[in-house]
Amino acid sequence: MPALPAPAAGMSNLVNRVLVAVVGLPLVLAAVWVGGWWLFVLLAVAGAVAVHEFVVMARPLAPLAPAAYVGVFLALLGAQRGGLLWMLAGFLSTLLVAFALNTLAKTRPPATAAIGATVLAAAWIGFGLAHIVLLRRMGAHPQLIAFTVLLVVFAADTFAYFGGRLFGRHKLAPTLSPGKTWEGFVVGSLVGIFVAFVALYQERDGYVNIWEALVLGVVVVLVAVAGDLFESMLKRDMQVKDTGRLLGGHGGVLDRIDALLFAAPATYYLVRAFGYL
C-alpha cells in the first residue's frame, strides 16, 4: 500500500501540466499572432517573474535585483522600438546600474559574484525574450517564423516527456537532469524537426526552403535541450528543484521558458544567416 501515492502524485502532476499547457499555449500564440505591444507586455511580465525566480534561486550570490529588472526591461524595450542594436544598448544598462547599486550598498557582497549573477540574469532572460520580439519583426513572414520556433520547442519538449516516460531507459545527462533520457530526446527531436518541416513547407518556394526548414528544426531542438540543461545546471548549483511553483507541475516561469531562451536567439541568427532579414 505505501507505493500507491507515487502514481497518484504522478497522475496529478501530469494533469496539472496538461491544464497549464492548454490554457497557456493559446495565450502565448495569440500574443505572438497580434504582436506589437501586446506581445511586449506578455514578455515583460514573463521577464519580471523570471528575474524574480532567478534572484530567489541565486540568493547565495546576492544578485542585484533592480539592475536585472532594468536590463531585461530595457532589452525588451530596445528590441520593440529599435531592433537589435537598441536591444544590446538596453542590456548594457545592466552593468551600469549593477555597479552603482553595489557601490552605494551599505553591506556589499563580493562584487564579482553579485554583478556576475546580475549580468547573467539580464543576458539569459533579457536576450532570450527580446529575440522573440526580433523574430516577430523579421522579414515578410514574422508571424510564421515566431510561431514555428514556439511550436517546435513545445512539441519537442512534450514528446520528449512522453517518449521518456514510455521508452526511457538510458539517461541523457544523469548529473544535471536525471529525468531526461536519450529515448525521449530522440522522440522529441524527430517530432520537433517534423513540426518545423510542416510549419514552413507552404512557403518553401519563397521563404525558407525545405533543407533550411530541416536545418532549422535540428538546430532548434538541439539548442532547446541545451537551454533546458543549462537551467538544470544552475538549479543543481543552487541546490533547488524548481525555480518556482507558479505553474504547478511545470514549476516556475523559468522552468517553462528555459528552452525558448536559447532557441529564440538561435532561430533569429540562423534565419538571418540563411539571408532572410
Q: What is the CA radius of gyration of the chain?
A: 19
Provide the CA 114 distance to its chain's centre, in angstroms.
23
For the chain, residues with pLDDT lower than 70 are 1-18, 20-21, 247-250
pLDDT at 141: 86
**Considering 108, 137, 166, which residue would you say is the last residue of a domain?**
137
In angstroms, the first-to-last Cα distance of the chain is: 61
pLDDT at 249: 61
pLDDT at 17: 64
Shared domain for 210 and 74, answered yes or no, is no
Shared domain for 100 and 161, answered yes or no, is no
Instruction: Round to whole Å and give the CA distance between 159 and 201.
Output: 21
What is the biggest distance separating any 2 CA atoms in the chain, rounded to whole angstroms?
62
Shared domain for 214 and 236, answered yes or no, is yes
pLDDT at 4: 43
pLDDT at 5: 44
Shared domain for 30 and 46, answered yes or no, is no
Shared domain for 56 and 27, answered yes or no, is no
pLDDT at 2: 43
Instruction: Show Cβ contacts of residue 227 under 8 Å, excluding neighbours closer than 6 positions.
Output: 128, 258, 259, 260, 261, 262, 263
What global pTM score does this model have? 0.91
Q: Is 84 exposed, middle or buried (0-12, 13-18, 19+ CB in 10 A)?
A: middle
Shared domain for 99 and 161, answered yes or no, is no
Shared domain for 221 and 129, answered yes or no, is no
Report how many domains make up the chain.
Answer: 2
pLDDT at 54: 97
Instruction: Round to whole Å and give the CA distance between 39 and 205.
Output: 29
Q: In this structure, which amino acid lies at residue 10?
A: G
Instruction: Round to whole Å and give the CA distance between 57 and 192.
Output: 30
Q: In this structure, which amino acid lies at residue 16?
A: N
pLDDT tens digits, residue range 152-162?
A: 999 999 999 89
Instruction: Round to whole Å and give the CA distance between 231 and 182.
Output: 18
**Considering 107, 137, 167, which residue would you say is the last residue of a domain?**
137
The DSSP symbol for 126 reads: I
**Considering 137, 165, 200, which residue would you say is the last residue of a domain?**
137
The DSSP symbol for 110 reads: P
Shared domain for 45 and 29, answered yes or no, is no
Q: Which three cell numbers stand for residue 210?
A: 525545405
Shared domain for 94 and 203, answered yes or no, is no
Shared domain for 40 and 21, answered yes or no, is no
Shared domain for 175 and 272, answered yes or no, is yes
pLDDT at 105: 82
The SS3 call for residue 173 is strand
pLDDT tens digits, residue range 43-53?
A: 999 999 999 99
CB 146 within 8 A of CB 267: no
Report CA dihedral (99, 105, 111, 116) to the nearest 10 degrees.
Answer: -60
Structural domain including 126 reads 35-137
Instruction: Round to whole Å and give the CA distance between 277 and 268.
Output: 9
Cross-strand partners of 173: 177
Shared domain for 43 and 146, answered yes or no, is no
